[in-house]
């Protein structure tokens, strides 16, 4: 099965070593066990691989004596592969992502900063918003974003190399929208 057990264990071990070294230097490690959305895998496949990856990552972090209360977890959301014919809807992504985190991320972890992982700006915001709106009261961690492409994409399109004001307005809009999504307050 792809990815292999050896692949997951090797990457989890490297993340744990990195995290332990960062904490020795009195800094906060960003632990990023990303499962890519590239491919034609189903959302269930993503759930399975993400669950195995998180489980092994936390086993390694604990084995390396990493203080879980002093990390930021930066995982993927549970989504269908970008080439999958059956794209899961927003509610399904929110539900499976929350379930995967609930079952595999210790409550000691204070915050989870999601990758956009190639999702569109609108979808990444909607997924985060729905998770916080539906499950915030059940979560021991703070859910937020660490989006690159999904934060910048609209601004870059609006800017187009010449329209600075439009680019800035688009960036401010997306930043505000994502900020509201961390509280489940985006109106759709």
Point out the residues that are catalytic: 32, 74
Q: Judge whether 133 and 184 are in contact, CB under 8 Å.
A: yes
Question: Chain-centre distance of CA 123, in angstroms?
Answer: 13
User: Which residue in this structure is represented by tokens 């632990």?
Assistant: 31
Question: Chain-centre distance of CA 75, in angstroms?
Answer: 4
Positive/negative CA dihedral, 140, 132, 170, 176: negative
Q: DSSP code of 85? A: S
For 114, the 3-state DSSP assignment is strand
30-31 and 111-114 beta bridge pairing: unpaired
Q: Judge whether 79 and 46 are in contact, CB under 8 Å.
A: yes
d(CA 170, CA 182): 19
């Amino acid at each position: 099965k792809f990815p292999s057990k050896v692949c997951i264990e090797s990457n989890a071990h490297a993340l744990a070593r990195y995290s332990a070294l960062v904490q020795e230097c009195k800094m906060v490690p960003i632990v990023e066990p990303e499962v890519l959305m590239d491919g034609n895998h189903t959302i269930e496949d993503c759930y399975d691989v993400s669950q195995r990856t998180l489980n092994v990552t936390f086993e390694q972090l604990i084995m390396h004596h990493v203080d879980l209360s002093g990390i930021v977890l930066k995982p993927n959301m549970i989504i269908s592969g970008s080439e999958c014919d059956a794209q899961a809807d927003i509610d399904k992504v929110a539900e499976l992502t929350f379930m995967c985190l609930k079952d595999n991320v210790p409550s000691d972890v204070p915050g989870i900063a999601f990758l956009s992982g190639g999702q569109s700006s609108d979808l990444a915001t909607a997924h985060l918003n729905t998770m916080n709106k539906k499950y915030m009261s059940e979560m021991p961690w703070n859910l937020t974003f660490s989006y690159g492409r999904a934060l910048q994409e609209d601004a870059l399109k609006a800017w187009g190399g010449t329209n600075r004001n439009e680019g800035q307005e688009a960036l401010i809009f997306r930043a505000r929208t994502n900020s509201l999504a961390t509280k489940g307050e985006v109106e759709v």
